């Protein structure tokens, strides 16, 4: 057997043998066989081919047939001819070779494990782990990474010996060894060709094209609408390309500082959408927390998965089968506030080294400096600026607030590499084709924030709700365009998404352009003190987690005290992460065996 795959019927299931047979149980998977060449292919997703001949082949015979045609002509370079979102398995029985690949932005996923001369692969890490040839236990290292990142960052998975592909990565297996490579990287070769007006128009044209590509001609299509710039743009463009009011779906919270439905209403009135709203309650969260733990093949701690699920479910209840989401605009056009903040610290490294050597001892050793506001601020600035990127971005990580020995049980701590999350971040940061810190941070966020986190959140919750989701801002032409912009056209003097927002002035309401970023934030921390069923769920989960030999019971008690007495929203984030871990472990590892 060259390749075998996992067990869950909901996942992409492909199995190839020396006899050259291919089977798949995923209803959205395209398969093809070329007996003359001894090749078999399976493709999940919505790939696209700029090459006219390959596009015609895909239209006539299916995506997998186009993959085989490209493979015959170009070999592994066939991947460079593919765009769109896809997970690909190609098996060449004559060369005894299996190739796995996922799309450039990591919208789809593939996980795999090598067991001797066999490769087991699936869209689900849990399916691979449960294959009888694998039988992988939960990986303690991954649990540490989860508590650090609030998800398990690729290439690691929650199960020992199982890996997952990164965006734009392929893996080739020949029955003996496995090699991995990146077949695409965002280029930054040309900088801002044309004047700003032409670039702004080009952005608008590409955004409209991207939304048109993701709008379904057959199935009813709607859009998530948080009221932010991204979702508002997608909602407005959906109405424009469809020629009718877009069906939009928005979530609210009955908690001060969390509800932003008014911004969604501003967008809806501006574009004349057909709006739908739902207020998430604490009872909804009690329902959602075990649902989230069961839905993901790895522990997943992003609390906004809950409102995402209810928003997607509302769309399905109103007859929508495809929903468009605004994810990706921040990571490719400079929308995260930390880009501007970290840019301030990067200015320090432009000061000549000789001046820094003279200045630092004076500031750091200034008499009574801790009690003098300007000196105290200068010390804090220097201390933070000294930490290089990307490590500086994790300075405020929750696990850095206390010594790790106070958080974790000794045996667990001794078994894990606490530097692994930062090593993964450094790899993505320095792999960027640009040397500009802003663009390197965006490249890191493409991998960590987008592919490992936000896309997993939205796609899995939409699947659980019974709708398909698509991401116009991840359109390949739009992503490539982002690489043509100068860094200052993305972030400049504290302004975020400079060209992006300038291009949308006049299209979006002014209030949308100027509002601060929020998204589907969840008042879990506040509700945890007020809602008895939610409090009971959390306390039961934390007590159970404290017996697993991972996190010390004393630390869990400390978190609950701090949450109950002050900073409920802040400490509520970590409590959510820990409760979801326990709920996930209950389904995937017996107590004491994590």
- List pLDDT tens digits, range 204-248: 999 999 999 999 989 999 999 999 999 999 999 999 999 999 999
Task: Average the pLDDT over 362-367 and give the result.
Answer: 79
User: Could you tell me if 271 and 237 are in contact, meaning their C-beta atoms sit under 8 angstroms apart?
Assistant: no
Segment of 270-274, 397-401, 512-516 carrying the highest mean pLDDT: 270-274
Q: Which CATH superfamily is domain 3-182 in?
A: Aminohydrolase, N-terminal nucleophile (Ntn) domain (3.60.20.10)
pTM: 0.92
Name the percent of the chain lying above pLDDT 70: 92
Residue with tokens 């008690």: 557
Q: In terms of Cα–Cα distance, which of 353, 351, 352, 377 is closest to 363? A: 377
Q: Is the pLDDT of residue 275 over 50?
A: yes
Q: Which helix (H) or strand (E) holds 286?
A: helix 282-295
210: exposed, middle or buried (C-beta count within 10 Å: 0-12, 13-18, 19+)? buried
Q: Which helix (H) or strand (E) holds 44?
A: strand 39-48
Predicted pLDDT at 29:
79
- Alpha-carbon distances, residue 124 vs 22, 87, 112, 215, 295 (angstroms): 19, 12, 9, 27, 11
Say which residues have a Cβ less than 8 Å from residue 132's Cβ, sequence separation at least 6. none
Task: Average the pLDDT over 115-140 and give the result.
Answer: 93
Q: How many C-beta atoms surround the C-beta of residue 1 within 10 A?
A: 15
Task: Average the pLDDT over 476-493 and give the result.
Answer: 95
Distance CA 551, CA 509 (A): 47
Q: Is the pLDDT of residue 19 over 50?
A: no
Q: Which two tokens stand for residue 401?
A: 């607030």
Predicted pLDDT at 422:
97
Residue ranges, CATH 3.60.20.10, the chain: 3-182
384: exposed, middle or buried (C-beta count within 10 Å: 0-12, 13-18, 19+)? middle
Residue 22: which pLDDT band, with cuts at 50, 70 and 90?
Answer: very low
Q: In terms of Cα–Cα distance, which of 491, 469, 472, 446 is closest to 184? A: 446
Distance CA 306, CA 43 (A): 30
Q: In terms of Cα–Cα distance, which of 92, 82, 75 is closest to 36? A: 92
Q: Is the pLDDT of residue 2 over 50?
A: no
In what side-by-side order are the strands of the sheet with 111-115? 22-23, 15-16, 3-5, 118-122, 111-115, 163-164
Strands 83-92 and 39-48, bridge-based pairing: antiparallel
User: Could you tell me if 104 and 476 are in contact, meaning their C-beta atoms sit under 8 angstroms apart?
Assistant: yes
Q: Which two tokens stand for residue 311?
A: 């928003």
Radius of gyration of the chain (CA): 25
Predicted pLDDT at 141:
98
Residue 448: which pLDDT band, with cuts at 50, 70 and 90?
Answer: very high
Q: Which residue has the higher pLDDT, 45 or 589?
A: 45
User: Could you tell me if 250 and 261 are in contact, meaning their C-beta atoms sit under 8 angstroms apart?
Assistant: yes
Strand partners, 102: 87
């Amino acid at each position: 057997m060259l390749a075998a795959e996992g067990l869950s019927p909901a996942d992409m299931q492909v199995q190839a043998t020396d006899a050259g047979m291919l089977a798949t149980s995923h209803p959205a998977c395209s398969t093809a066989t070329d007996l003359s060449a001894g090749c078999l292919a399976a493709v999940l997703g919505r790939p696209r081919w700029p090459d006219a001949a390959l596009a015609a082949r895909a239209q006539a015979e299916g995506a997998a047939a186009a993959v085989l045609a490209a493979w015959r002509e170009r070999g592994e370079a066939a991947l460079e001819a593919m765009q769109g979102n896809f997970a690909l398995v190609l098996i060449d029985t004559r060369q005894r070779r299996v190739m796995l690949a996922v799309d450039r932005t990591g919208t789809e996923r593939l996980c795999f494990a090598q067991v001797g001369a066999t490769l087991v692969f699936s869209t689900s890490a849990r399916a691979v782990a449960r294959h009888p040839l694998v039988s992988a236990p939960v990986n303690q290292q991954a649990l540490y990474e989860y508590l650090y990142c609030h998800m398990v960052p690729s290439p690691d998975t929650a199960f020992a010996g199982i890996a997952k592909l990164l965006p734009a990565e392929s893996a080739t297996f020949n029955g003996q060894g496995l090699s991995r490579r990146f077949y695409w990287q965002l280029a930054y070769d040309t900088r801002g060709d044309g004047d700003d007006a032409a670039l702004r128009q080009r952005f608008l044209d590409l955004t409209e094209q991207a939304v048109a590509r993701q709008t379904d001609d057959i199935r009813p299509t709607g859009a998530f609408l948080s009221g932010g710039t991204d979702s508002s743009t997608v909602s407005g463009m959906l109405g424009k390309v469809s020629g009718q009011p877009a069906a939009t779906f928005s979530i609210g919270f009955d908690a001060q500082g969390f509800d932003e439905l008014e911004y969604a209403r501003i967008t809806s009135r501006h574009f004349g959408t057909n709006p739908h709203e739902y207020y998430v309650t604490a009872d909804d969260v009690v329902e959602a927390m075990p649902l989230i733990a069961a839905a993901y093949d790895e522990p997943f701690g992003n609390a906004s998965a809950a409102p995402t699920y209810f928003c997607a479910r509302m769309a399905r209840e109103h007859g929508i089968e495809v929903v468009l989401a605004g994810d990706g605009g921040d990571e490719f056009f400079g929308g995260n506030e930390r880009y501007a903040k970290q840019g301030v610290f990067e200015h320090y490294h432009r000061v000549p080294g000789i001046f820094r050597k003279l200045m630092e001892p004076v500031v750091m050793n200034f008499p009574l400096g801790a009690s003098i506001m300007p000196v105290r601020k200068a010390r804090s600035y220097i201390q933070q600026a000294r930490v290089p990127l990307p490590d500086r971005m994790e300075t405020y990580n929750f696990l850095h607030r206390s010594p790790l020995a106070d958080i974790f049980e000794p045996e667990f701590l001794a078994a894990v590499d606490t530097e692994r999350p930062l090593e993964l971040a450094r790899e993505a940061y320095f792999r960027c084709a640009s040397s500009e810190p802003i663009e390197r941070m965006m490249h890191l966020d493409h991998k960590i924030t987008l592919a490992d986190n936000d896309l997993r959140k939205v796609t899995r919750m939409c699947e659980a709700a019974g709708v398909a989701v698509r991401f116009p801002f991840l359109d390949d032409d739009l992503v490539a365009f982002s690489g043509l912009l100068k860094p200052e056209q993305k972030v400049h003097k504290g302004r975020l998404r400079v060209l992006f927002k300038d291009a949308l002035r006049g299209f979006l309401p002014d209030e949308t352009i100027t509002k601060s970023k929020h998204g589907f934030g969840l008042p879990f921390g506040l509700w945890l003190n007020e809602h008895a069923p939610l409090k009971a769920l959390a306390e039961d989960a934390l007590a159970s987690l404290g017996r697993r030999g991972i996190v010390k019971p004393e630390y869990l008690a400390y978190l609950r005290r701090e949450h109950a007495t002050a900073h409920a929203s802040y400490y509520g984030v970590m409590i959510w992460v820990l409760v979801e871990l326990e709920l996930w472990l209950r389904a995937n590892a017996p107590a004491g065996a994590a």
